[in-house]
Amino acid sequence: MTTVAEWLSEPGAGLEVEDDFDEINTQYLARGWTDGLPVVPPTRRRIEDMLGYCDRPWNAPVATIAPNDSPATPLRIAVNAVMAGCRPEYFPVIVTAIEAMCEPAFNLNAIQSTTHLCAPLVIVNGPIAKELGINSGYNAFGPGKHANATIGRAIRLALINIGGAVPEVGDMATLGSPAKYSYCVAENESANPWQPLQVERGHPAWSSAVTVMGLECPHNVHDRESSDAEGILTTIAGTMANTGANDMYYAAHPLVVLCPEHATTIAHSGWNKARIKQFLFERARLPMYLFSKENIERRFRTGFSGRYATAGMDAPVLMVQRPEHIVVIVVGGAGKHSACFPTFGETVPITRTINTRDGKLARSIHEFRSSARGQDDLHIG
Amino acid sequence: MAKILLGVPVEVSERKSAAATTTRIVSRQGLRLGLLDNSKGNADALLALLAMGIKRDVNVVSTTERRKPSVSAAAPADVLEELAAQSDLVITAIAD
């Protein structure tokens, strides 16, 4: 196999259908290859264009995606990215995100197949986020921006088609979530009074990175009255504390998204991220009597016997086990709405920098295109 | 209408295919039974019920019972290896 055209002729790689948009979509939907929405037909030319931003061998797996543990090659990822409507320059972000969520500590196998409604959120930091126009402002978690919508969708299609997270087959979510259609956002670094996420997690400010987290949908925190850090964070801590989350049963790493106005008010109070996390750790707690007697007995007294075996009914139940487990980023436009994101529980955020094939930090997405043109071994199978 | 060749988005796992066709020869002397509790609330009760039914119909010569430390994570490799080594048949239960 040396070209995309030859790959398409291999068993299991190509499907011959009538050259008609409606018929193509009927066929793909019937085979369970979509998210239910119409897809862009993955033609040879579109797959080749997508791989124009891939500087690695096209048929060498970059990861294996659970629960099927199927090899994710750039070729197969590219088919899904085309179907999602991605522009080719998005491809390195998609590949990096898939690599990140396939690291064992992320626990993708459980996130994909659980009855819980979680989905992997992709947070993009750095100059490449700006270059691609990934929304970090108004409605960043909602519709309207091509990069957010299609990068998140490409990853979901890969999770379904390569990983096997087919609803009722490999994805057994009781309810599911709209976040399972697409879940991708950039941090609003220009409105962040503190270090952006990738820098906090040990990478240079000029690097671009992807952080993946296994989360529920955003839960709004509206506070337009509080005028200092303690007030705003008291409201956020109260929102983080709820009896139905998974977080208190695990060493959860919940996400707190501060809107720029809340972040500015908190920073003007002189608080840094460490103090924010310490405050939320101490305040995001509920008295045990708010939980059902069965949960108290089976999940707290038995499951966490060291802490709760003999605890009184007023004893505080911690939503977060350690302050540093809380992830704080800044996203959004004007307004006084922040958000809390409960987690799947048994999952750890993973950050990966966006690197070119030689392992160097990419300064621009176009480095992937130029290096691809300079290498002759990309097509070789 | 003209035909067009398009990319297939699905990748088939060779490992999964192999696992689906794996067979195990059971000794005539009796069945070595393995039980893996996924640690959800009633998994132990369901496993006990299944084991009781199997023992009623089959000569079970040994039973190896293990419990996952977390319902939300895969069983540790050493647990799986032990069950594989000591059992002809392993039942894992998920129950709420």
Q: Where are the domains of chain A?
A: 1-190+208-216+352-381
Say if the Cβ atoms of B72 and A114 lie within 8 Å.
yes
* Chain A residue nearest residue B17, CA to CA: A68
Supply the pLDDT for residue B95.
72
* Residue A376 pLDDT greater than 50, yes or no: no
Q: Which of B10, B40, B71, B94 is most worth mutating to test chain A (most A CB atoms within 10 A of its CB)?
A: B10
**Tokens (6 digits) for A273:** 């991220």
Residue A91 to chain B, least CA–CA distance (Å)? 15
Going by pLDDT thresholds of 50, 70 and 90, the confidence category of residue B1 is confident
Helices A273-283 and A229-240, packing angle to 10 deg: 50
The structural domains of chain B, with segments of one domain joined by +, span 28-93
Nearest to A76 among B11, B70, B72 (CB): B11
- Would the CB atoms of A19 and B8 count as touching at under 8 Å? no
Average confidence (pLDDT) over A75-85:
98
Of residues B4, B41, B73, nearest to A110 (C-beta): B73
Provide residues of B within 8 Å CB-CB of chain A. 1-13, 15-16, 41, 70, 72-74
For residue A187, pLDDT over 60 is answered with: yes
The predicted-structure confidence for B37-56, as pLDDT tens digits, reads as follows 988 878 888 999 999 999 99
Distance CA A244, CA B2 (A): 54
Least confident of A61-75, A193-207, B58-72: B58-72
Q: Which of B5, B13, B72 sits opposite A8 (nearest CB)?
A: B5
How far away is chain A from the Cα of B36, in angstroms, using its nearest Cα?
17
How far away is chain B from the Cα of A236, in angstroms, using its nearest Cα? Answer: 27
Q: What is the pLDDT of residue A38?
A: 98
- For residue B10, give how far its alpha carbon lies from the nearest alpha carbon of chain A (Å): 5
Q: How confident is the model at residue A216 (pLDDT cuts 50, 70, 90)?
A: very high
Each residue of B77-93: pLDDT tens digit?
Answer: 999 999 999 999 999 87
Point out the residue among B1, B10, B13 whose CB comes nearest to the CB of A18.
B1
* Residue among B62, B41, B67, B40 nearest B51 (CA): B62
Band the pLDDT of A177: cuts 50, 70, 90: very high
Tell me what percent of the residues of chain A surpass a pLDDT of 90. Answer: 94
Neighbouring CB atoms inside 10 A of B65's CB total 14
Mean pLDDT score across all residues of chain A = 95
pLDDT (0 to 100) of residue B74:
86
Residues A254 and A277: their CA atoms lie apart, in Å, by: 11
Q: Which residues of A touch B72 (CB under 8 A)?
A: 107, 110, 114, 246, 250, 344-346
Residues in chain B: 96
Distance CA A51, CA A208 (A): 20
pLDDT score of A43 more than 90: yes
Beta bridge partners of A209: A125, A353
**Run of H or E including A305:** helix A305-308
> Closest Cα of chain B to A98: distance in Å?
15
Cα separation of A107 and A230, whole Å? 34
Percentage of residues in chain A having pLDDT higher than 70? 97
